[in-house]
Amino acid sequence: HAKAQGRNSYQFYSSQLNTQSSEHMALANSLHQAFEQNEFRLHYQPLLDLKTKQIVGAEALIRWQHPKLGLVMPGKFIPIAEETGLILRLGEFVITSVCQQLQAWQQKGLPHGRIAINLSGQHFRLQDSLRHTIAKILRDYNISPIHLEVELTESEIMQNSDRTIQVLSELRNIGIHIAIDDFGTGYSSLSYLKHFPVDTLKIDRCFVQDVTTDRHDAAITIAMIDLAHNLSLNVIAEGVETEEQLAFLTQNGCDRMQGYLFSRPVPPEEFEKMVMGGKHL
């Protein structure tokens, strides 16, 4: 009996593993084609200023409109893009689409503010020409670098940090803003932080989630806000879902927020409507 049970549970796990790896393989096999078939979409999540309560920009977040699987979220294919090296091409796609979108918005007279994009550490480690690539795309679409913010996670910055910091400085020198994403989840030594060429700390959602119920998360969040301000950095909280979280962050001097409370990431037309309609907190 025990043996049979053992075999069943083995089968259970093995078939679960199979579905997982076959999905992974299906995605890996069609990732190349996704570029040719133009299947990537950028959604935009509004960033709000907590003093003025207005939309001051957005974070561009990629989705994959897969012909069979529907809308695939980045958590499923960014790791594959990283493994296969396609992440570099994906990054260029994101920068180009955002600049194209900014140009279209500029032509309509839309006050769009600054758009944040996520880059992978590989861009900094492997792509010698990152600054030139970005500068060229900005020129092609006639976009000022001040409209762009580059996000890199704290843990990515810490890998090969000398090289990464050098490239981040180059980007910052041409006027692009730099944000440390998922701040608090990596292992950056705080003494390092003063050497980082950054403008913004993004407090990770995991702290914001329980900020009104867990006194440790509350203390850490307050400490991160104060740390940012003492280093003359801007601070933004991600993943704000409740009015209580919003009130806490506002009371404690956080500069900006993004989260489902105000809006999920949406297609560009919907973001445009929010800005034009003057939607605010």
Residues contributing to the site for ligand C2E (CB under 6 A): 45, 61-62, 73-75, 78, 94, 118-120, 151, 181-182, 205, 238-241, 258-260, 265
In which residue are the tokens 């000398």 written? Answer: 162
Q: Is 272 an interacting residue with respect to Mg ion (CB under 5 A)?
A: no
Among ligand C2E, Mg ion, none, partner that 270 touches (CB below 5 to 8 angstroms by kind): none
Coil, strand, or helix at residue 78? helix
C-alpha–C-alpha distance, residues 127 and 123, integer Å = 5
Q: Which is nearer to ligand C2E, 17 or 73 (by Cβ)?
A: 73
Compute the least distance from the CB of residue 82 to ligand C2E, in Å: 8
Question: H or E element: which one contains 90?
Answer: helix 87-107
Q: Is 182 an interacting residue with respect to Mg ion (CB under 5 A)?
A: yes
Q: Which is nearer to ligand C2E, 86 or 275 (by Cβ)?
A: 86
Among ligand C2E, Mg ion, none, partner that 74 touches (CB below 5 to 8 angstroms by kind): ligand C2E
Q: Which is nearer to Mg ion, 156 or 181 (by Cβ)?
A: 181
**What separation in angstroms does the CA of 148 have from each of 133, 161, 259?**
14, 22, 20
Q: Is 30 an interacting residue with respect to Mg ion (CB under 5 A)?
A: no
Q: Is 151 an interacting residue with respect to Mg ion (CB under 5 A)?
A: yes
Q: Do 236 and 206 form a contact (C-beta atoms < 8 A)?
A: no
What residues contact 27, with CB distance under 8 A and at least 6 apart?
A: 66, 69, 72, 76, 77, 80
Q: Is 181 an interacting residue with respect to Mg ion (CB under 5 A)?
A: yes
Compute the least distance from the CB of residue 59 to Mg ion, in Å: 6
Terminal-residue alpha carbon distance, the chain: 61
Q: Which is nearer to ligand C2E, 11 or 83 (by Cβ)?
A: 83
Stretch that binds Mg ion, among 6-14, 113-121, 229-237, 249-257 (CB under 5 A): 113-121
Residues 207, 212, 215, 218: what is their CA dihedral angle, to the nearest 10 degrees?
50
Compute the least distance from the CB of residue 155 to ligand C2E, in Å: 11
The footprint of Mg ion on this chain (CB under 5 A) covers a number of residues equal to 4
**Which of 271, 229, 268, 280 has its CA nearest to residue 98?**
268
Among Mg ion, ligand C2E, none, partner that 186 touches (CB below 5 to 8 angstroms by kind): none
Coil, strand, or helix at residue 163? helix
Residues found near Mg ion in the complex (CB under 5 A): 118, 151, 181-182
